[in-house]
Structure 1
Amino acid sequence: MKIAFHGRNFNDAARPFIESMFSELAKRNIEIQLSKTFREFLDQSGVIHHSTLVYDSPDELFNPRLLVSMGGDGTLLETISHIGPKQIPTIGINVGRLGFLATVPPERINDMIGALEQGQFKIDERSLVSIESNVDLFNGINFGLNDFTITKTETSSMITVHTYLNEEFLNSYWADGLIVSTPTGSTGYSLSCGGPVLVPHSQNFIITPISPHNLNVRPLVVEDNAVIRCEIKSRSNNFLVSLDARSTIADESTQITVRKAPFSARLIKMLDDSFLNTLRNKLSWGLDMRN
């Protein structure tokens, strides 16, 4: 079995579990490949990993059976950007903070390895948002698992986002910005701006305004086969666009269309991993915070 890894730095508490994992993989003769940045971090940290194979771009991946993300949810989003249309199954080890997507705790890593070898897991297909533009905004990686966001720059005032749904005018959002979220991203930025939580396999997008000038403008749930087109006006003549963790500044001549990507992200989940359990645990639902 071949496994590729991408990750970021982790705290000292996770280090024994990471070292044990690489040792266990070596014992099982599992071939591994590391992303260049993760390999550099491991070498600087003195972590023994038994790997000589490195990839610096998605084209250099050695056709692994799966890709492991080591970090938090942001790391997993970054890992998904390495895969794209290849749809390599991905699992997240949570050595970060929240862990909505990266749900395997460090102390269960060896259990995870055994489950993967024995096929005791499930594949969770997640829809992606895709961006089309008249300029290359994200270096060809024009898809995201969580959301696409248009926001004002730090020095600009409120922007106006003229929005069309399937070429029919929807609304002109006078706001700090606008979020188009997938069901996976519904528990992220959109939620903090008043958007609803969607279960992962809902076939929808959420259009969520950020601090709208008109308080009666609310988040809107639309079908995910809809095509959303945006024209942006700003006093500074520019604005910020973000696709998951990647962002860049664009000017008013930029034309943006948002739609569902033609491929999906395939997240590996352990058999006892439940979205509803994660929702209750991470958002503290059902707990009396007064006690």
Structure 2
Amino acid sequence: MHVALYSRGFVKEDLEDIQLLLNELARQEIVPVVYEPVYKELCAHIQFSPDTNTFSRAEDLDGRIEFLVSLGGDGTLLDTVSFIRDKNIPVMGVNFGRLGFLAGIGRNAVHEVVDSLVSRSYVVDKRTLLHLDASTPLFGDVPYALNEFTIHKKDTSAMVKIHTYLNGEFLNTYWADGLIVATPTGSTGYSLSCGGPIVFPEAASFVITPVAPHNLNVRPIVVPDDNVISFEVEGRSDQFICTLDSRMEVIDNRVQLAVKKEDFTIQLLRLNESNFLHTLRDKLLWGIDTRNARGK
């Protein structure tokens, strides 16, 4: 079995857990395929098995790779989308970061992670992606996102007017700093911080959330994900920012943009005892109230 390992980087406190993970993989005779820039950094600190392979591009993840393990936070896991693309390689996120909605498995569960991959005792969550169509080529070979698509004003420029359409029918003009279209997975990310609702991962929907809207009666809206959402942008500045997850492009207001559901999904793996409700309670501290204490 070959398992790819991806990380943006590491700090001193991560080294013991990374070594433990590699030792567990070796114990199960699993060949690690490590992201090359991180492998080069770790060589001075970590003992790798002789059969360790590396990858640096999406093309390097061939049919040998059965799983990809993301070591970091949610941003690290989002990066893996540009590597696995439509290869149908399941991703398991081990949280070396902070909040960890997507990378929800703690670093203290390394043994359980490896055992679950070997025994196939994990749970598979299929997550919707959104796809960006534009009148000019954007985002290379990866015009899709797991969390969200955003349009945003550039730097300190004035707010923008974003004319928004559903399947060609006018929805609203948003006078705002920007606009977010989030998948259910992304509903707990940027959209949530801007007042958007939490949507269950299996919900077939997109969330449209304005960023700092000028009209106080404008609120986030949930729409079915079989809609094509298109945009026309106006503003005092000729340029604005367009993002897919953590990737960014600066474009001008002549570019035509539309988002829709991607044709393929991504598979996120979790351990059996974890689920979305558990994650909400854990990460958002729901139920942490002295009035809920037993006997009160």
TM-score (norm 1): 0.96
Determine the structure 2 residue equivalent to 1:25.
25
Determine the structure 2 residue equivalent to 1:181.
182
Q: Which digits, 9 at most, give the CA deviation of each residue in 1:149-200, with x for residues without a partner? A: 1100113110010111010011111100000000000011101111100011
Could you tell me which runs of 5 or more consecutive residues in structure 1 were left unpaired when the two chains were aligned. none
Q: Which digits, 9 at most, give the CA deviation of each residue in 1:107-143, with x for residues without a partner? A: 1101111111011111100000110111222122111
Determine the structure 2 residue equivalent to 1:282.
283
1:53 partner amino acid: N
| Maintained 8 Å contact 1:77/1:244 | yes
Determine the structure 1 residue equivalent to 2:57.
57
Matches of 2:243 and 2:48, distance apart in 1: 34
Matches of 2:277 and 2:174, distance apart in 1: 33
- Map of 1:56-135 to 2, 5 A cutoff? 56-63=56-63, 64-135=65-136
Matches of 2:82 and 2:115, distance apart in 1: 27
Give the CA deviation at 1:254: 0.8
Pair 1:259 & 2:260 matched: yes
2:11 partner amino acid: N
Give the CA deviation at 1:52: 4.2
1:223 partner amino acid: P
| Maintained 8 Å contact 1:11/1:95 | no
Q: Which digits, 9 at most, give the CA deviation of each residue in 1:238-264, with x for residues without a partner? A: 100111010111101111110000000
Give the CA deviation at 1:289: 8.0
2:42 partner amino acid: L
Q: Which digits, 9 at most, give the CA deviation of each residue in 1:20-63, with x for residues without a partner? A: 111221232211211222223323x5222325422221111132
Aligned residues: 290
Matches of 2:137 and 2:35, distance apart in 1: 24
Q: Which digits, 9 at most, give the CA deviation of each residue in 1:63-85, with x for residues without a partner? A: 21111101000000001221111
Matches of 2:107 and 2:241, distance apart in 1: 36
| Maintained 8 Å contact 1:123/1:269 | yes
Mean CA deviation greater in 9-18 or 127-136: 9-18
| Maintained 8 Å contact 2:22/2:32 | no
| Maintained 8 Å contact 1:36/1:54 | yes
1:204 partner amino acid: S
Give the CA deviation at 1:277: 0.6
Determine the structure 2 residue equivalent to 1:40.
40
Mean CA deviation greater in 146-155 or 7-16: 7-16
Runs of 4+ aligned residues of structure 1 deviating over 6 Å after TM superposition are none
| Maintained 8 Å contact 1:10/1:96 | no
Give the 3 Å change call, closer, same or farther, for CA 206–26 of structure 1 in structure 2. same
| Maintained 8 Å contact 1:7/1:38 | yes
2:46 partner amino acid: V
1:166 partner amino acid: N
Task: Say which SS state the counterpart of residue 97 (structure 2) adopts.
Answer: coil
Task: Say which SS state the counterpart of residue 101 (structure 1) adopts.
Answer: coil
Matches of 1:186 and 1:93, distance apart in 2: 20
Q: Which digits, 9 at most, give the CA deviation of each residue in 1:219-255, with x for residues without a partner? A: 0100001000011112111100111010111101111
Matches of 1:98 and 1:207, distance apart in 2: 23
1:22 partner amino acid: L
| Maintained 8 Å contact 2:90/2:268 | yes
Could you tell me which runs of 5 or more consecutive residues in structure 2 were left unpaired when the two chains were aligned. none
1:87 partner amino acid: N
| Maintained 8 Å contact 1:238/1:252 | yes
Matches of 1:256 and 1:141, distance apart in 2: 15
Matches of 1:79 and 1:49, distance apart in 2: 22
Task: Say which SS state the counterpart of residue 80 (structure 2) adopts.
Answer: helix
Determine the structure 1 residue equivalent to 2:12.
12
Determine the structure 2 residue equivalent to 1:193.
194
Matches of 1:34 and 1:286, distance apart in 2: 39
Matches of 1:40 and 1:235, distance apart in 2: 46
Determine the structure 2 residue equivalent to 1:162.
163
TM-score (norm 2): 0.94
Task: Say which SS state the counterpart of residue 59 (structure 1) adopts.
Answer: helix
How high is the sequence identity, in percent, across the aligned residues? 43
| Maintained 8 Å contact 1:4/1:67 | yes
Q: CA RMSD in A?
A: 1.6
1:107 partner amino acid: N
